[in-house]
Amino acid sequence: MKGKFIVFEGIDGSGKTTQINQLSKWLISNHLIPENNQLVITREPGGTELGQSIRSLLLDTSRDKNKSPDSITELLLYAADRSQHVNEIIRPTLNKGDWVISDRFCGSTLAYQGYGRKLDIKLIKNLETIATQGISPDITFLLDIPVEESIKRRMNRKDDRIEKEGREFLLNVSLGFQALSMDSKWKKISAINSKETIISEIQSEIKKLLKNK
Ligand SMILES: Nc1ncnc2c1ncn2[C@@H]1O[C@H](COP(=O)(O)OP(=O)(O)OP(=O)(O)O)[C@@H](O)[C@H]1O
Ligand SMILES: [Mg+2]
């Protein structure tokens, strides 16, 4: 039997890491993962050893701007990271019946490179088809926060190359995520609420998912 594939999306600082940690504790302590199966927590970019190298190529801030990846190179690097991630981690894990929670997946590429960088959405979707080879999430949570809140929450952190793009870029990314969350397999959660309120909404969506299996 195939395992479940759960994805968290949202702009920087929306609470993805916080909620993934909460959800994994809850799934394990309530024995919701089938007996003899495991939960694998992973992320993009950088869910594999190869992907870690791609992640540093993408997010490194030390290079001069004219030597940084241009937007098509950036898109191709994300696609390469995803292909390796799907083939090395996600597909084999799901095939064993284990569960996967991924911090970001295809939605982030559509939001950041499509709506943020304004690259052609059709091109992005074609690359997505190549990189994922039919693997898609059972459910994607969009943690939705205003851009101002994202900036506030990240005030004491050093920005990576993409985070440095600034407010207007992030606003377009956020609008992209809103559009993507209209899909029936996405659940938009207002992530401005307390951490406790958010996790209980996530838990109730997972319970629904398990009922409909
Ligand atoms: N519901 C919440 N209310 C207030 N603060 C929160 C909430 N959820 C998370 N935070 C805080 O916001 C900050 C960012 O959260 P977190 O690291 O989980 O976000 P993220 O989406 O994983 O960010 P990134 O995209 O940068 O990895 C942390 O300091 C976290 O404690
Ligand atoms: Mg995080």
Question: What is the chain's pLDDT, residue by residue, as a tens digit (213 residues)?
Answer: 699 999 999 999 999 999 999 999 999 999 999 999 999 999 999 999 999 999 999 999 998 888 999 999 999 999 999 999 999 999 999 999 999 999 999 999 999 999 999 999 999 999 999 999 999 999 999 999 999 999 999 999 999 999 999 999 999 999 999 999 999 999 999 999 999 999 999 999 999 999 986
| Mutation choice for ligand 1 from 7, 8, 9, 18, CB with most ligand atoms inside 8 A | 18
Ligand 1 binding pocket includes 14 (Cβ within 6 Å):
yes
How far does the centroid of ligand 1 lie from the alpha carbon of residue 191, in Å? 9
Closest ligand relative to 11 C-alpha = 1
Give 23 Cα–ligand 2 centroid separation in angstroms: 14
Task: Evaluate whether 192 touches 16 at the Cβ level (below 8 Å).
Answer: no
Picking from 7, 5, 18, 13, the residue whose alpha carbon sits closest to that of residue 198 is: 18
Q: Please tell me the pTM assigned to this model.
A: 0.97
Q: Looking at this protein, which amino acid is placed at residue 7?
A: V
Q: What pLDDT shows up at residue 35? A: 92
Report all structural domains of the chain as residue ranges with CATH numbers, in order of start: 5-211 (3.40.50.300)
What pLDDT score does 198 carry?
A: 98
Strands (E), the chain: 5-9, 39-43, 99-103, 139-144, 186-190
Alpha helices in 45-139 (DSSP H): 49-59, 71-85, 91-95, 106-109, 121-132
Q: Kindly report the protein residue whose alpha carbon is nearest to atom 31 of ligand 1.
A: 18
Q: What pLDDT is stored for residue 212 in this prediction?
A: 82
Q: Is the CB of 45 under 6 A from ligand 1?
A: no
CB of 144 closer than 6 angstroms to any ligand 1 atom: no
Instruction: Kindly tell me the sign of the dihedral angle through the C-alpha atoms of 40, 5, 187, 197.
Output: negative
pLDDT at 1: 61
